[in-house]
Amino acid sequence: MHDEKPNAKSVKLAPDRNIRGWRTAVAISQEAGRLNAVAVQRQAGKFEILWAKSCEGNQSKLGSFAAECGLPIDQPPNVSVGGGIDGDRVVVAGFNSAAVAFYRLWVPAIKEKDIEAVVRLQAETLLPLSAEQVELTWRLGRTRDGEVAVTVAAARKERLQEFVENVRGFGPAKILLDYEGIVKAWQTFFGGDLNEGDAAVVNMGARSTQVCLVEDGRLSNAAVVDIGADELLEGGGAGEQTEATEGFARDVASVLKLFGCAEPGELPVFVLSDGGDAMEGIVSSLKSAGLDARESPPLLEQLQAEGGISAEELYGYRVPIGLAMMGLEAGTELNLFEQLYRPFKEEEKKHWAYSLKAAGAIAAVTLALLVIVSYAVDAASPGAIEKRLKAAVSDADISALVQRQKLIKTVAAERPDLLEVLNYISSSGSKGILLDSVQFKKGQAVSITGQVDNPDLLYKFQESLLTKKGVKEVEIQNAAKDPKGDKFKFTITFHYKNFTKKGTGISGISGI
């Protein structure tokens, strides 16, 4: 299966079913120039490989490989199938931990939020690059003598961003370190026994070997030995001691010392194996070097697959299988991408109140309530008002009151204030003006006749009248010198409010 050639060739091990209630994880990893992907399904505590695919390529091909694996590319977040989590399927991308530096620190057992500052301070002193260039994550481990162990993982931010750009297209729900996948695979399918306490897990690649320290079932430190299976098996048969195997054993022993082992044999070393003779030989050489090395062959009974699965196949896909297992579980992974990548599903995780459906439903209910309340108010108001009115006055009284009020308004509109008119005339005149008569009749202009010493006084009288409220159209109808005397006789007319307008007549128009 892991021998598949460039153009992704798939091996279908079981029908690709996606039945609600089951959970499926699709994991894609990149190791030693190969891209591997598996779909693992969990059903009633058992695991089944649905399919596995492999092809040559580096991380820049991750997007196209994901597409070949059937994952939708560049789909918006609300797409229910494909990337991220859709209720049944979670997609996991594995980041090659060769680019990650692991550190193990001991810090005082203080509050977790305080620990963060301490860890960052300590980690930054260990990092070969400035803090701005590095992304780091950490996880608390066991506590001993008032101190707590901290596993720190750090990587260049630039490389992480590059990886994110490569995987963003298929929107994985998680981006995990592949070393964590190795540890998980060892525990689940390679006989990893957590009861035995701490252990070192050796994962052999073609050109390098990863050594992972496992404490309490979790990765707590890791290192890389630059000797891989290709070199170890080159020129030597199984079980033969060569310069390469001896060097490898020495390097592994050095790594164990780095992990804090005083003696190489005090920590069991589990070498992940495909069950072949070659691995057996490597384990023997490690044993010869004084290490407590043990072979961890695949336990095929732990995994189901239609048509069965071989030890080589399980070994070949151990990393994506381990990552897929982690995808199916909620764990405290070392997440180096926390600040750099936000999966679709997390973006979707908004409060229910922000959803369009909820808003629509609330609007509909509000509208319905508005209609009901409006109706209730309209239906109840006339009765309530009438009831209150009847409590205060009888029906007949209400009608009489309404009629009386109407009539008062009518009378007010019919009643000119003649006292006001006379006052206007009196206050507008001055010495030298003698009034002979004043005549008011509804529907006709008010008419004043009189005598004046000179026309100037008459003009002033006219202008003054015009300034009075309700007085309009003040006209001098005639002004002629009295042949019997020196005075001028005049007639002035003006309109007062609406009472003197034509058509007002007896019925009148509102003067207020």
Partner 1 sequence: MLERLSDRDKRAMKIGLICAAGVVFVWLGAKWVGHWRQARRSLAEINAKLEIIGVDKTRQTALASIVPVFEMPQKEETQKFLFRNKLNEQLKQAGINSKPLQVLPAGKPRQDGYRMLRLKCSAKCKFGQVLDFLAKLNENPYLVGVEEMRLRCDAKNREDVELDLTVSTFVR
* CA atoms of 240 and 379, how far apart (whole Å): 100
Q: Are 199 and 267 in contact (CB under 8 A)?
A: yes
Taking the least distance from each CB to partner 1, the nearer of 78 and 437 is 437
Taking the least distance from each CB to partner 1, the nearer of 297 and 508 is 508
Taking the least distance from each CB to partner 1, the nearer of 139 and 442 is 442
Q: Are 403 and 409 in contact (CB under 8 A)?
A: no
φ/ψ region of 274 (left if φ > 0, alpha if ψ in -120 to 50, else beta) reads alpha
- Would you tell me which residues interact with partner 1 (CB under 8 A)? 375, 378-379, 381-382, 385-386, 398, 400-412, 414-419, 422, 434-442, 506-508, 512
CB of 467 to partner 1, least distance (A): 22
Question: Which residues are bridge partners to 340 per DSSP?
Answer: none
Buried (b) or exposed (e) across 443-482, using 16+ Cβ within 10 A? ebbbbbbbbbeeeebbebbbebbeebebbeebeeeeeeee
Question: Which residues are bridge partners to 459 per DSSP?
Answer: none
Q: Are 304 and 190 in contact (CB under 8 A)?
A: no
CB of 411 to partner 1, least distance (A): 5
Q: Are 184 and 192 in contact (CB under 8 A)?
A: no
User: Which residues are within 8 A (CB) of 461 and not within 5 positions of it... i.e. 6 or more apart?
Assistant: 428, 429, 430, 433, 452, 492
Polymer length of the chain = 512
* CA atoms of 153 and 83, how far apart (whole Å): 26
| Closest by CA position to 119, among listed 146, 151, 144 | 151
* CA atoms of 15 and 38, how far apart (whole Å): 13
CB of 499 to partner 1, least distance (A): 8
Query: In this structure, what token pair is assigned to residue 434?
Result: 């003698």
CB of 375 to partner 1, least distance (A): 5
User: Which residues are within 8 A (CB) of 450 and not within 5 positions of it... i.e. 6 or more apart?
Assistant: 433, 434, 435, 436, 437, 489, 490
CB of 384 to partner 1, least distance (A): 10
State how beta strands 303-304 and 46-56 pair: parallel
Strand stretches in 58-208, DSSP E: 89-95, 101-108, 134-144, 147-156, 174-177, 199-204
Taking the least distance from each CB to partner 1, the nearer of 144 and 390 is 390
CB of 449 to partner 1, least distance (A): 9
* CA atoms of 9 and 23, how far apart (whole Å): 24
Taking the least distance from each CB to partner 1, the nearer of 382 and 483 is 382
Taking the least distance from each CB to partner 1, the nearer of 131 and 385 is 385
CB of 506 to partner 1, least distance (A): 6
Tell me the residue type at 34.
R
Taking the least distance from each CB to partner 1, the nearer of 300 and 413 is 413
Taking the least distance from each CB to partner 1, the nearer of 358 and 411 is 411
| Closest by CA position to 90, among listed 328, 344, 346 | 328
Q: Is 191 helix (H, G, I), strand (E, B) or coil?
A: coil
